[in-house]
Every structure is written in structure tokens, then in C-alpha cells.
Amino acid sequence: MLARSARSLVKHFRFRGCLLEKHASTASSGDRQILSIFDSPKSFRYPAATSSGLFGHAQLSHPNAFVSLADATLVRAQILTNRILNARASKDELVKVVKNLDRLSDMLCSVIDLAELIRNAHPDKNWVSAANNAYEKLCEFMNVLNTHVGLYEVLKAVLSDPSLVKTLSPEAYQTALIFWRDFEKSAIDLPPEQRQQFVSFSSDILVLGREFLGNASAPRPPAAIRPGDLAGIKDQGMGVRLQLQAQFTKRDLLVYPGSLQAHMIMRSAPDEEPRRRMYIAANSSTDQQVDTLEKLLKTRAELARLVGRRSFAHMTLDDKMAKTPENVMNFLDALMNHTRTSARGALRTLSSRKQAHHKLSSLPIIQAWDRDFYCPPEPPAPPIPLPPLTLGTVFMGLSRLFQHLYGITLRPADSATGEVWHSDVQKLEVIDEDKGLIGWIYADLFARRGKASGAAHYTVRCSRRTDLDDEEADGMVSGYEDLVKQSVEFEKVKRRRIPNQDGEYQLPLVVLLCEFVRPSVSKGPTVLEWQEVMTLFHEMGHAMHSMIGRTEYQNVSGTRCATDFVELPSILMEHFLKSRQVLQLFDLDGFKGLRHFSNHGEDPCNSIDTYSQILLASLDQIYHSPAVLDDASFSTTHELASLHNTKGLIPHVPGTSFQTQFGHLFGYGATYYSYLFDRAIASRVWKQVFEKDPLNRELGEKYKQEVLKWGGAKDPWVMVSALLNAPELEHGDAEAMREVGKWRIEDEGLSGRH
């Protein structure tokens, strides 16, 4: 998952919320250092003797300082806002408007994004409370700026003047357009009464969204399972315990969806009936849960109509690669047609298994509750036999890979006392062979109580050019000098001169959160499962995008790009794990006797699962289409059933309503197709660019120059077409979307992370 809090000015103002054997056999001192840092339990016990505050900010040495920093940021942000509002008095100031809007955005995001991390990672409840306070205070100010007519009018004055537009670099112009589009999506040019209605709709959406997400994760009622239905369960231990429990109580067992017992039944019960009951229970909804989702969808639709868009999808997609919902469906329909044959073949395999299991004379229908039983889980495995992969080994391999591709290495660095929020956190410097230090990665990799679950990449700080800021012209407010000084000092820590590059830059800083098992003296270093290796590669793909995406404007830096483009670098990183040359980078002395890939056999459920994800992406488009308001009988349950019964592989089960658990409908509303879209592009890039020679520096440099370095400052279609030498894609029209839909998604077995 890419964890994003702030994106572009109004999105910031409205929180939306990466010959072989010869190279591999020589271990550098940096390799040894990485191994030592990550594989030694002692590495996670002793901080450096020097003292600092969070991320080197001296004032952030205690929780109350976080609240004080938020106050200082608000004062300075208001001063800069006033400067922008007065810009029409001077043409020189109008020339600086886009730069100052980006500065204002960065000023707020620097604290907001830091607060978001601390809310999810810090073990001290006082720090978490302070971060929540700072977060809410700055978000409130963002809401004011979100519909600030004065800011909109100043930007309009700049973009309406051809002489001023000519002064903008392509990157600056792209940044200005991001501000402009987001202002327009916020009803900025509507009368006050309608702007107030927009604010009301936005507030309602947040409330309904929180309620919907709560419903999505809420426990479902139990299924009543008869004791006799449990005969023959493969897991004899738990199966026997359940049967003994049933015999003792002399009544049906109540099994809750999501429990270990429920998973065992779905995967191991030979009889269909308990699996059917369990499936229906797991996919049930109350009327209130369905009603909450439908209110959310209708409120979104009303907000879109208020600002002159046909639907929420039309409003959301106009600044994405897809541009329109029609183009999304061009992609999904092409992908569905391309995937259907293999998915149906896989379904026949499951049907044959079911036929043999029940000794039937003909192929039976595969039902929704059959999928887990006839697709027994197989843990993901590497394509060649490997020794145990420790955390240090994998980070060493990542550093070697980046050195081959980009001339970039990872170097462990000491952190001062107070610089990190937990002794588990390791600091890595990202070193470019020409430019030296280009950023930092803080790795918080081990599970602990109170820490957010899952894996995520947090952009705590974006790249941005700072030597042209002209801060002295911002002015001052009498009585607030100390607060302004505090905010200025906070920003100074972030700035560096980079060798062989003009100007002074704010260096990017990212944090990786994972939940691996920590090393210990008794058990030794952390050994990663293959799925965990893939997860780490995925998140490091985001991290390197942040490091290499060096732009002058933070709104388009690194991962601040289109939603349907942002996962491309991370998914592509997973493909590198399919290469023997890359896997050999994990070893200090070179693997012995490894010559061939192991096939492992193709899991037929991969294509079924891909097809199911295409259906979910289609459902997301239907739920955000004009029909939500135009069709008086619109029903989310009916649309779900209709889609599965007309285009699906497995029949919809009457009485079920999975849509209330489809949590991505909130965070990825109208953009759930994005991950499939980036999977298709990443598969193509791997196949055509990297597969034959994955460590080729020229290819890595091409990828860096054509894609990674631009962040969101360049049209993604232009970047992809240049990388693939496919000029027919450059305009990103309906035909380009269909073409991507025809590409084979060749990442079966990859992590499938968002």
C-alpha cells in the first residue's frame, strides 16, 4: 500500500482523506554493514549518544512541541496566504504565485504528513495525542483554504495572462493546473449558497465514509453449523475439537465469519452445506449497512452534479490517466475479454476437481463457496531454490539492484537519541554515485502492539527546490515573531545543496512500516517468507520513486502523481523477483549449482482471482455512474447480482451483499481499476524492457530518466509511450486504454498489494 495523506495544493488543503555471478560474489563493506544492521538483534537496542528531535528537528523533542509547531505553521501559513492574496498588486508577485502556492502546500504538508506517521507508528500515547491535535488543527485550516475564492481568483489571474503563462516552466504549469482543477472541483466558482452546499456534502461524505468503513470491518453474524457436517475435515485437530464441542453442547455450532474455525470450514469441509452456510453468513449485510453505502454513493453523485459533472466518476477521473469513465470501461472490457478464456479454463479445472470429489457423471457448477475448497492455498515460492532469506540479505540485494540500475546504494546511518520513535527503527541514507546523499529511508519493520498493521510507505517529506523561495518577502505579524522563527527553523533542517545539481533542495524522507518478526538472540536474524520479500520490494518501489522523483515543486514530486499511475514503480519492482540474476544478488558468495527456474505449476485460481478483481473494478464504476441519481430504482445489491450473473464466472448467491464490505469503495471511489491498470503496464514494461537483462544500467537509466525522475510533473502516457517506444499510446485516448486492456497481466503470484 502507498500511504498518502497530502496531494497537490487543494488536495493538500483538503486532506484526502525501485556478468551477474561475478558481481554477486564480491561483498562490499556496505553490504556487510547492511547485513550487520538488519540481522543483528543488538542493532535494535542502542541509540547513538547524540541527542536530537524527531527526524533531526531539535524542537520536536517532546510531544507538546508538536502542538507548538502546528501553531507556528498556522501563523506562517496565514502570512504566506496573505502574500498570495495581495499578489495582483505587482507583476513580480504574480510570477511567483505558483511557487508560493506550492510553498504553502509544502508548509502544511510537512507537519500534516509527519503527524499522520506519528498517529500510526509512535508507541507513546502522548505523542499520538499531540499528533492528532496538530493534524486536526491543520486540517481545519485546509478546509478554509479549500474553497478560498481569493486564492482561486489570484491563480485565475495568472493563468489568464499569456505573458505570465510564458514565464512558467512545464513543471510549474503542470503544478498550476493541478491547483486549478482541484479548486474547480471544490465548487469555487459557484455562488456562496452552493459553495456552502458543497461543504455540507463534503462533510456528509466524510461522516458516511467513516460509517461505511466501520460497517465493512464489523463482525458478521455467526453461521449455525450442524455437527454431522464437519465429518471428514482435513484439519483433524480442530475438526475433532469442534465435533466434541458439538457433542458436549448437543446443539449446532455457531461459527463466526473470519474466525479460524470459519477458515478451516471453507478450506477443509468436504460437505458443501457448511461451506454454503459459512459463505452466506460472511457476505451478509443489514439493511442499515446497505443504506449507509447507498447514501454515500448518492451524496457523492449530488456533489458531482453540483459542480457540473455527470457523475462522481466523471469528476474524479478527469485528471487521471483514464480521463473518463467510458475509457475505464474500454480498458476493463478489453481486459475482461482477454482474461475470460484462461479464467474459464481455470474454472473447468475446479469443476473437474469437484466432479471427481463427488464422483459425478458430469461437470458441476462451481459455486462461490467452492473456491477456497478446490483452490487449496499454496504459499508463494521463489522461482529458484533459495537459502533462507534474512532481512539483511534482502536489503543487501535491494541495494545491489539499485546500484546496477540507477547507480544508487543504501547506506546505514546512525540516528540520534530522539530522532526516531522506537529502537526498532533503522535509518538508511540513499546515496547517488554522482550527487551523493539524495534522501533518507527510515525502516520501521517489526510488529508491535499499537502500531498500524500491514505494510505502507509514508512520504513524510517531498523533494522541492528551496533556494528560490524568497521567504523574506513573506512579511511578519507583530507579536508572532517567535512562532515564525520556529517554523523557519523547522524547514531549514530539511534543506541541502546537492553536488552536480543547481540550487538547494529539500531532500525527500520516507518511512517504511512493516510487521515482520523481529530478530532475537535465541532465534537469530529475521527470516522472511517469500510473500514478505515481495512486500518489501513493493514498498521499496514506492520509496525509490520518492527518492528519484526530484522536482522543483513538491506537488508533483515522486509519488505525488495520478492515482492510476502511482503503483507502476512498486508493481514493477515485484517483477524483478522473477529473475535469477536478481535473486543471486541476495548472496554474498554466489549461489552454487542454480541453473534453472522451478515452475511450481500454475495455480488455476490466479486467473479466476484476476477476473474477480476486474468485476470489482467494473462494479466500482457502476456505483459511481450517473445511474445512481438517474435510476430511481438503483440498488447496489441488484447491480452486484446483475454484474455477476451477466459477466461473472460464478453465480451470485441470493441473499448476499458483499458490497458493504468492499472498503476500497471509499478510499478508491471510481479508481479501483488503477491497480489492474498498473499491473498491466508493469507486466508490459518488464517483458519488453527488463526481462532479458534486468541489471542493465542503460535500461535502468532509461527508466529513471523517462519515468521515475518526473514524479507527477509529466503526462504519464508520454512517459509510458517513451519507455515502451509506443507512440500510439502518447495521447492516452480511448484506443490507448483498450490497448492496455489487451496486454497480458503476467504477474500471477505477485503480492497483489495496493
691: its cell numbers: 526481462
Angle of CA points 2, 754, 221, to nearest 5°? 120
Q: Give 464's strand partners.
A: 506
**3-state secondary structure (DSSP) of residue 520:** strand
Please report, for residues 582, 603, 744, the alpha-carbon distance to residue 682 in angstroms, rounded to integers and kept in the order given.
17, 21, 10
From the candidates 539, 552, 567, 706, which is the catalytic residue?
A: 539
The three cell numbers locating residue 395: 536489503
Amino acid at 632: A
User: CA–CA separation, 16 vs 316, rounded Å?
Assistant: 12
CA neighbours within 13 Å on the CB side: how many for 635?
7
DSSP 525: S
Amino acid letter at 425? Answer: V
Q: Mapped to the 3 state alphabet, what secondary structure does 506-532 carry?
A: ECCEEEEEEEECCCECCCECCECCHHH
Residue 243: helix, strand or coil by DSSP?
Answer: helix
**CA atoms within 13 Å, Cβ hemisphere of 482:** 3
Torsion angle in degrees (nearest 10) through CA of 697, 698, 703, 705? 110
Rounded CA-CA distance 146/138 in Å is 12
Query: What's the angle, vertex CA 583, arms to CA 579 and CA 585, rounded to 5?
Result: 125
CB-based contact 581:383 (threshold 8 Å): no
Distances (CA, A) of 398 to 410, 543, 574: 8, 12, 11
193 is known as an active-site residue: no
Between β-strands 436-446 and 426-432, what pairing exists: parallel, antiparallel or unpaired?
A: antiparallel
Spatial distance between the Cα atoms of 217 and 692, rounded to a whole number of angstroms: 44
Q: Rounded to an integer, what distance in angstroms lies between the CA atom of residue 540 and that of residue 677?
A: 20
Q: What's the rounded Cα separation, in Å, for the pair 606 and 290?
A: 30
CA 124, CA 121: separation in Å to the nearest integer? 9
Residue type, 25: S
Determine which helix (DSSP H) or strand (DSSP E) holds 197, and give its type and residue range: helix 192-217
621 in Cβ contact with 313 (< 8 Å): yes
Query: Which residues, including other chains, have CB under 8 Å from residue 65's CB and lie 6 or more apart?
Result: 53, 59
Residues known to be catalytic = 539
